[in-house]
Amino acid sequence: MAITLQDTARNAAADGIVDLIDVGGAGTISLKSSASLVAATNEVATLTFSATAFGAAAAGVATAAAITSDTSATGGTANNYTVFSGAGTALWQGTVTATSGGGDIELSSISIGVGDTVSMSAFTLTVPAS
């Protein structure tokens, strides 16, 4: 039988994970052309979290505060991302697709030109109940 987490536990887990982003200063989210836990490897664009990256979780969902756009992207095709703490520690990674593509992050376009501005309007981390 699978375990079932109550919201108190889900919130604690979500808060614990996203609070790691703030260690060492403002963390970043790096859009990449392939999976990599190294900050500059395969980078397409890097956006910066607020000094306090996420608010308190509710129902197991932590929602990011404002994320600063990358106004001078490296460029390439984004298909993965990695979240880094302010100290540069890789925390988690996931997939990137175009809108309705089913990725963990969906962008209006995964093709990013050199010098483009890349922005994110929302980002959440969810700890499931089971």
Give a yes or no: residue 1 inside a domain: no
Closest CA to 116 of 44, 42, 41: 44
Give a yes or no: residue 2 inside a domain: no
Chain position carrying tokens 């509710």: 58
In tens, the pLDDT along 28-47 reads 999 999 988 888 789 999 99
| 73 — pLDDT class (breaks 50, 70, 90) | very high
Give a yes or no: residue 41 inside a domain: yes
Question: Which range marks the domain in which residue 95 is found?
Answer: 7-126
Give a yes or no: residue 79 inside a domain: yes
What per-residue confidence (pLDDT) applies to 111? Answer: 98
What per-residue confidence (pLDDT) applies to 74? Answer: 96
Strands (E) located in the chain: 28-32, 43-49, 61-63, 67-68, 76-77, 80-84, 90-98, 105-107, 111-112, 124-126
CB 15 within 8 A of CB 62: yes
Give a yes or no: residue 61 inside a domain: yes
Residue 1 has pLDDT above 80, yes or no: no
In tens, the pLDDT along 74-127 reads 999 999 999 999 999 999 999 999 999 999 999 999 999 999 999 999 999 999
Give a yes or no: residue 58 inside a domain: yes
